[in-house]
Chain A
Amino acid sequence: MNKKITISVLTLAALVLNGCSTVKPWERDLLAKPQMALDSDPLKTAFDDHIYFSKEASSGGRGFGGGGCGCN
């Protein structure tokens, strides 16, 4: 069931995004800036995720959630 959802969402996303024009390498000046990285401060992200992991019932999403901890 979940596999089906996964495949259909990915297919749909690929179809939609295929319509996007390819951004040429010389147009990637802004995208290449460190602040445009999807995770521009990995240590901060890790600290924050660990706090939320130990205080809330959700974890992960961005990547693998949390890692093992007796705190949860």
Chain B
Amino acid sequence: MQLINKKLSFSASLALATSTLLGANTQVNAEEGWQADSAVLIYNENNGRVSAIEPAVNLRRTYEDESSINLRVVYDALTGASPNGAASASVAQTFTSASGSAAQTANAQAMTSSSGSTSRQVTPSPNVNTIVTHSYDDDDDDDEGEGHSTTYTIAPSDIPLDPSFEDSRTTVSLGWTKPLEDNYTVNLGGSYSTEGDFTSFSVNGAVAKDFNQKSTTLSAGLNLEFDTVTPNGGLPDPLTSYATRNTIGESDSKNVVDTIVGLTQVINRRWITQFNISLSQSSGHHSDPYKILTVADQGNLITDPENAGNYLYLFESRPDNRQKLSLYWQNKFAIMSNNVLDLSYRYMTDDWGINSHTVDATFHWQLSDSFYLEPHARYYEQTAADFYTPFLSLGDDVVINSGAITALVDYASSDPRLGAFSANTYGLKMGFPLSDTRELSLSVETYQQQDKNIRKEVAAGSHLDGQSQFAELSANWVQLGYSVRW
């Protein structure tokens, strides 16, 4: 009887191995019944950037035949400041967030113009903090319930952060797993998420087959995702003036097809390994509607020829397609009777020119029946996208003829996420199993990026000389979790 139990729970852990491919939320639990996992994440970026609170609940019902259904709901509330993509400069810079209607934007633009021209004549104090001006909307157009636009001024040498970043997101996912005859398992799932300016819908399916007395599992899965972006203030025309704010419509879409094949193998009594290959094909709108780029002449900010009194910034532009290939290899090693080392490596390459390496190590250290520690370390590095640049140069990337702005490049973005950087994460999870069916856990993680971009040369003494060209991110997060089974 004991042997049967062990076999059962092991088949469950292989089922888990497969289901990690499926994007589903299976946990090791072959026993019939319910399992509820709940957690809350508190996320904070340093220097007043984004903070978020995310509660999540995962409910799972397992049936006698080992089939299961899974429901997950995650709510995500974000506030704070996010880099707008403009370069840090030795003079104050004023921006208007696109969170209002066209009329308000025009209104705010007027304010921008006046403060913009002032900032060029007066040498601003280096201690000027971000000045934020709100202009409120009388007729609420339901743009995230905000209905106002924001003008903000960035002090000299500060990284331009848009302080009006605020959003909430709800995600609901459903999954169903069923073992079939001949050692096959199928999984079907779907997910829907909605936030102020973005909705996403996805469906996925996967099939897995066990071989060699369940020592080997081969699996294959497909995920289809349909996204719609409806930016506040409309979809900006790529590589045109930020102050003019030409739009090309209200919303646009993006479709993603992900395929994944995986192999899970029990090597011996203490070692299980998993190898996945995944291919992701994304087509449609990829540009970030809120990201802009500075246009500089020999490192100096220049006047927008279409909007006197404003510096020239252009909306970013990304390709309409992206193809990514990922290789993922994970190993779990049992050490002594209760400790486990988890080592994984991921290589990712895409046709935007980004290559990345991720190494992750976690050690499960069981100190007693009612307490364990899990120290965690992760190293990540990526190269920059081909079209990543901290700013555009007049003459090389952009020309101005008789007051008309013409971009010479098809694509450009200064989004730090597309730049070259490395990042370290260190974390510690503390687990408190309260009984066989209940567990409490607390984990803390700290994350730090390091700039790896080649510095773009600028003229000595210019506005961009000696300024940061990359906004390194550092963040900390805490997660409290509670699981119960009945």
Instruction: Using A20-B267, A36-B13 as known contacts, say yes or no to A47 and B39 having CB atoms under 8 A apart.
Output: yes
Interface string of B1-16 (1 = CB under 8 A from A): 0010011011001001
Supposing A20-B215, A20-B267, A44-B481 touch, asked if A32 and B443 sit within 8 A by C-beta, the answer is no
The answer for the CA separation of A29 and B270 in the assembled complex, in Å, is 9
Give the Cβ gap from A59 to chain B, nearest Cβ, in Å. Answer: 8
Question: Which residues on the A side are within 8 Å of B111 (C-beta)?
Answer: none
A31, A64, A69: most-surrounded residue (chain B CB, <10 A):
A64
Across the interface, do B3 and A48 meet the contact criterion of CB distance under 8 Å? Answer: no
List residues of B whose CB falls within 8 A of some A CB. Answer: 3, 6-7, 9-10, 13, 16-17, 20-23, 25-28, 37-39, 41, 43, 54, 56, 58, 72, 74, 167, 169, 171, 173, 191, 193, 195-202, 204, 212-213, 215-216, 218, 221, 223, 225-227, 229, 254, 256, 258, 260-261, 263-270, 272, 274-280, 324-328, 330, 332, 334, 337-338, 340, 342, 344, 346, 348, 350, 352, 354, 356, 358, 364, 366, 372, 380, 382, 385, 417-418, 423, 429, 441, 443, 445, 447, 449, 473, 475, 477, 479, 481
15 pairs of residues in contact across A and B, judged by CB atoms under 8 Å: A14-B216, A17-B265, A20-B215, A20-B267, A28-B6, A31-B334, A44-B443, A56-B423, A61-B328, A62-B276, A64-B202, A68-B198, A68-B200, A68-B201, A69-B200
Indicate if the CB atoms of A26 and B6 lie closer than 8 Å: yes
List of 7 A-B pairs having minimum Cβ-Cβ separation, nearest first = A68-B200, A70-B198, A61-B328, A64-B23, A30-B334, A61-B346, A61-B326
Contacts of A61 in B (CB 8 A): 276, 278, 326-328, 346, 348, 358
* Interface SS, A side: loop
Given the complex, which residues of B lie within 8 Å of A2, measured CB to CB? Answer: 279, 325
Q: Is the CB of B22 within 8 A of A63?
A: yes
Which residues from 25 to 56 on chain A have a C-beta closer than 8 Å to any C-beta of chain B? 25-44, 46-48, 51-52, 55-56
Chain B neighbourhood of A47, CB < 8 A: 39, 41, 54, 56, 477, 479
Given contacts A31-B272, A69-B193, contact A60 B280 (CB under 8 A): yes
* Contact present for B58 and A55 (CB under 8 Å): no
**Within 8 Å CB of A55, what residues of B?**
417, 423, 447, 449, 473, 475
Write out the residue numbers on chain A whose beta carbons fall within 8 Å of the beta carbon of B475: 51, 55
Interface centre among B3, B23, B418, B423 (most CB of A within 10 A): B23
Contact B6 A29 (CB under 8 A): yes
Q: How large is the interface on A (under 10, 10 to 19, 20 to 34, 35 or more residues)?
A: 35 or more
Q: In the complex the two chains form, is A23's CB within 8 Å of B58's CB? A: no
Measured CA separation A57–B418 after assembly (Å): 6
Q: Is the CB of A38 within 8 A of B16?
A: yes
Question: Bound state CA distance, A6 and B344, in angstroms?
Answer: 19
Q: Is the CB of B28 within 8 A of A37?
A: yes
Residues of A near B280 (CB, < 8 A) are 60, 65
The answer for the CA separation of A27 and B441 in the assembled complex, in Å, is 30
Chain B residues, CB < 8 A from A58? 324, 326, 346, 348, 354, 356, 358, 380, 382
Across-interface contacts of A6 in B (CB, < 8 A): 261, 277, 279
Contacts of B216 in A (CB 8 A): 14, 17
Contact of B13 among A26, A37, A44, A46 (CB under 8 A): A37
Contacts of B37 in A (CB 8 A): 42-43
A48 to B377, CA, bound (A): 12
Residues of B within 8 A of A38 (CB): 13, 16-17, 20, 264, 272, 274, 330, 332
Find chain B residues with CB under 8 A from A52 CB.
380
A35 touches B340 (CB 8 A): yes
* B350 CB, nearest partner CB in chain A, Å: 8
Q: How far is the CB of A14 from chain B (nearest CB, A)?
A: 7
**Are A67 and B326 in contact, CB atoms less than 8 angstroms apart?**
no
Shortest beta-carbon distance, A18 to chain B, in Å? 8
Check A60 against B258 for contact (C-beta < 8 Å). yes
Give the shortest distance, in Å, between A66 (CB) and chain B (any CB): 9
Bound complex: CA A29 to CA B138 (Å):
66
A45 and chain B: residue at smallest CB distance: B20
Chain A residues within an 8 Å CB radius of B324: 58, 60
Q: Are B266 and A42 in contact (CB under 8 A)?
A: no
Given contacts A38-B332, A55-B417, contact A32 B279 (CB under 8 A): no
- Nearest A-chain residue to B349, judged by Cβ: A58
Chain A residue at minimal CB-CB distance from B167: A70
**What's the least CB distance linking B351 to chain A, in Å?**
11
Which one, A17, A34, A65, contacts B28 given CB within 8 A?
A34
Which residues of chain A have C-beta atoms less than 8 A from B477's C-beta?
47, 51
Beyond A22-B212, A23-B266, A44-B39, whether A35 also contacts B338 by CB under 8 A is yes
